[in-house]
Amino acid sequence: MPKSSSLFILGLGNPGPKYIHTRHNVGYWVVDLLLQDYKTKFRRQIFSPYQSVRLSSSSHHLSVLRSKTFMNTTGSIIPSLARHNTVDPSQFVVVVDNMDLPPGQCRLRKGGSHAGHNGLKSLMAAFGEQDFLRLYIGVGRPERGVSVVDHVLGVPNASDTQKIQMTCRKAADALCSLAEEPFDRVAESLNRRGA
């Protein structure tokens, strides 16, 4: 696990008010919780394809990022990010929605395929590898007759929203722990509680 000073948290989603409450934006939800916890906001970065802020406490530091591009082109932020930082995929935790997990569940994993997720696919192409951490937030499968696109770009019902928000809270707490504790310990605790 990288030192806390070089840990990047990247929340995936789509920009704009149209998408704020959609399933595809749960990566943004987790990042927003971190900013609320630290009582801060993203710095105004007009010409940058991403927003960023450094979160610090007495015990850890995190660089929190949110892409300003659409999900399918998330990887396009990496060249810009690399101009100001040493970009090592193993130092990234990507927070992303996952349809294979029901609302209320989450998983912290190292590496893996993109499993058809266009945000992950774009990042893997930009990094040239897949060895980065993924924090998956469950959003469930589409109901019969609903397309995958309509599902992830849809707003969950009240019950699912509550479950997802509770999971996002656990995920945000786990990210802070990840800056201080070994990956295996954080993953085991989160994955057990997220089951």
Residue in 24, 60, 117, 151 annotated catalytic: 24
Measured in degrees and rounded to the nearest 5, phi and psi for residue 141 equal -90, 155
Q: Facing residues of 109 across strands? A: 134
In the annotation, is 61 catalytic? no
CA distance 183 to 16: 33
C-alpha–C-alpha distance, residues 113 and 103, integer Å: 21
| Dist. CA 97–CA 154, nearest whole Å | 13
d(CA 100, CA 186): 21
Give catalytic residues, as residue numbers: 24
